Amino acid sequence: MCAAVGALEDDPLFNAGRGAALTLQGTVELDASIMTGDGQAGAVAVVDRARSPIRVARHVMEATPHVLLASPDDALVEAAGVELMDPDYFVTEARRRQLERILADEEAPLTHGTVGAVARDSAGRIVAGMSTGGISKQLRGRIGDTPIIGAGTWARDGVVGISCTGDGEAFIQGAVAHDVFARMAYGGQSVAEAASSTFAAECDTRGSTGGLIAATGDGSVLLCHNSAMMLAAFSQDGETVTWV
């Protein structure tokens, strides 16, 4: 899971790691989280030097007594085995131009996006994780749903692993990832029923858009979104299926 998310963090085309969306001040502030289905979790927020925030989140989970660290210090990033970069490394020319367009035109749509992955092994163990630069023009210090366990990410062995993308404030207000899990675990809904009920109740009612990927304890996978588009891929036994 971390290898998949880490590759997307390195790819400047995605809103995570290098190529992330820029804050109002033109800087990058990255968020990431990981949760394993046995109930462990780690997350980081407002990261500006770690090349791979998802790997720092994993380190928080595995090597500290904490769940969420904001502005993790350089020593912790190095202890995680993650390269420290100059903050300029994350800022691409395309994102600079995009921010200029957004600042010049009040009506210009804000850009956002998150990269995420959910994995289930043959023993049914599940892990979910995600990484993002947030929303373009966001205020300094703004933290979205990505590092908030239960909002953007959730995993429970035997039930489901979920990784979300979309309007982070609504995903926090609606505890979206946990709400999908709860509808399945306590309400007996299928993952598809649960995800569409959660989107209707928590996102549509707020006028918010987004999507999620999920893998269930019994091996099914789901892509659900109320946004115009969402890209995802699914791989099992060496065969890969791409959803657009």
Nearer Cβ to ligand ASP (119/213): 213
Q: How far apart are the first and last CA of the chain?
A: 20
- Contact assessment for residue 69 and residue 43, using Cβ atoms and an 8 Å cutoff: yes
Catalytic site residue 198?
Answer: no
Taking CB atoms, the residue at the shortest distance from ligand ASP is 168
114 lines the binding site for ligand ASP (CB under 6 A): yes
Q: Answer yes or no whether residue 112 interacts with ligand ASP by CB under 6 A.
A: yes
Rounded to whole angstroms, the Cα distance separating 82 from 60 reads 12
132 lines the binding site for ligand ASP (CB under 6 A): yes
Q: Candidates 53, 72, 168, 217: give the one binding ligand ASP (CB under 6 A).
A: 168
Binding-residue total with ligand ASP (CB under 6 A): 12
In the structure encoding, which two tokens stand for residue 106, read together? Answer: 């009040």
For residues 201 and 106, give the distance between their C-alpha atoms in angstroms, rounded to a whole number. 29
98 belongs to the binding site for ligand ASP (CB under 6 A): no
Q: Residue 19 interacts with ligand ASP (CB under 6 A)?
A: no
The angle that helices 191-198 and 176-185 make with each other, rounded to 10 degrees, is 140
Which one of the listed residues 23, 36, 114, 153 is annotated catalytic? 114
Q: How far apart are CA 173 and CA 142, in angstroms?
A: 15
Query: How far is CA 138 from its chain centroid?
Result: 16
Stretch that binds ligand ASP, among 86-94, 95-103, 131-139, 216-224 (CB under 6 A): 131-139
DSSP 235: E
Q: Name the site residues for ligand ASP (rule: CB under 6 A).
A: 112-114, 132, 134-135, 144-146, 165-166, 168
- Active site residues per annotation: 114
